[in-house]
Amino acid sequence: MAKEQNYLDILADLQKKQFKPIYYLMGEEPYFIDVIANYIENNVLTEAEKGFNLTVVYGTDTDISDIVNTAKRYPMMSDYQVVIVREAQSVKSIDELVYYLRKPLTSTILVFCHKHGVLDRRKKLAAEIQKIGVLFDSKRLRDYQLPQFIENYLKQKSIDIDSKASAMMAEYVGADLNRMVSELDKLIITLPKGQNRITPTQIELNIGISKDFNNFELLDAIINKNVVKANRIIKYFAENPKSNPLVMTLSTLFGFFSNLMLVYYSPVQTEQGIAAHLGLRLSWQARDYLRAKSKYTGTEVLQIIDDIRYCDARSKGVENSSVSDGELLRELIYKILH
């Protein structure tokens, strides 16, 4: 089976003008679908060519026969015509597209944007698309993939970012990629003239995230069993609950310790081995897990996971009617560190 392309692979081919007759863009993450479709819409044709050769339709307003008839037209005064079908998940009888794909017009670039769902890969349509074009599954990124996404996005704009700054943005914004890109673009605009590196200080000044009091720093304190630093951070969290909601902190801690539990079962106890076992893209991302493994036993990690779950339940009112989120977090961190 051929390696599935990611959105950067597809964009790289498009930039080389290596066009396919069909791009079926589907999945739960709308950001990647929009990036690819917008690149095709904005870059394949010149402004003069777009008037006759660019067609954008919506699945709710058209049907497969109209789409195919449009795709069969020849371009006017251009090498290509581009047909983009947005909201493709609403196109009825889409399986009939198979007949067009068996002999597509190579001068037509047909793009389907199917958000919040996927084609059934067992059907003939998926197989036909893969034979001659691109069938792209736009998957939501997992938390550990966000720093790499941030770095890749900024690299395309010739901007570097400090690893701590990248982790701060990942924690603060989360997996909403459209919002992430918007926040990163703001940071780029605020960079002083001649500076091409985003730092934690710049994020603190322009985004409002404290570079010293955040979940990234709290996790670092817990990993290193730095009681003083951890208590300083949770005191700040208690005093600023709107900026540091308990649910985000618990999510960060649960994700880390759940992965740490898996580390004990990694067959190769090196950075590279643990990164492969956890599905981390970069080996250095495993360093924190190795440090934590030296501080916490497997039995302790199991108890910590149970404590985090219990804290989460109490924050939602289970066996708790009056204890604040700040006090709940203080109790949890005490249990973890002692």
User: CATH 3.40.50.300: does it fit domain 7-138?
Assistant: yes
Spatial CA neighbour of 85 closest among 51, 62, 118: 62
Average pLDDT of the residues in 236-247: 87
pLDDT of 51 higher than 80: yes
The DSSP-derived string for 253-298 is HHHHHHHHHHHTT-SS-SHHHHHHHHT-SSGGGGHHHHHHHHHS-H
What does the pLDDT read at residue 267?
87
What are the φ and ψ backbone dihedral angles of 120, each rounded to 5 degrees? -75, 110
At residue 35, does pLDDT exceed 70? Answer: yes
Query: What pLDDT is recorded for position 201?
Result: 86
Higher pLDDT, 2 or 145: 145
Answer yes or no: are the C-beta atoms of 262 and 277 closer than 8 Å.
yes
Instruction: Tell me what the mean pLDDT of segment 56-66 comes to.
Output: 93
- Strands (DSSP E) along 52-129, which ranges? 54-58, 81-86, 108-115
The average pLDDT across 249-277 equals 89
Name, in order, each residue with C-beta under 8 angstroms of 295's C-beta and a sequence gap of 6 or more. 223, 224, 225
Whole-number average pLDDT of the chain: 90
- Is residue 71 within 8 Å of residue 108, measured between CB atoms? yes
pLDDT at site 327: 92
Q: In 10 A of CB 68, how many CB atoms?
A: 17
Return the CATH number of 143-206, one of 3.40.50.300, 1.20.120.720, 1.10.8.60, 3.40.1280.10. 1.10.8.60
Q: What angle do CA 283, 247, 309 make, to 5 degrees?
A: 80
What is the rounded average pLDDT of the residues 110-128?
Answer: 93
Least trusted range by pLDDT, from 10-24, 105-119, 171-185? 171-185
pLDDT of residue 57 exceeding 60, the answer is yes
Reported as a single tens digit per residue, the pLDDT across 297-306 is 999 999 999 9
pLDDT at 1: 41
CA torsion angle 87 178 45 103 (round to 10): -40
CATH of domain 215-337: 1.20.272.10
Annotated domain spans of the chain:
7-138, 143-206, 215-337
Which of 85-94, 127-136, 320-329 is predicted least confidently? 320-329
pLDDT at 282 over 80: no
Q: What is the pLDDT of residue 3?
A: 55
Quick check: 161 pLDDT over 70?
yes
pLDDT for 4 beyond 80: no
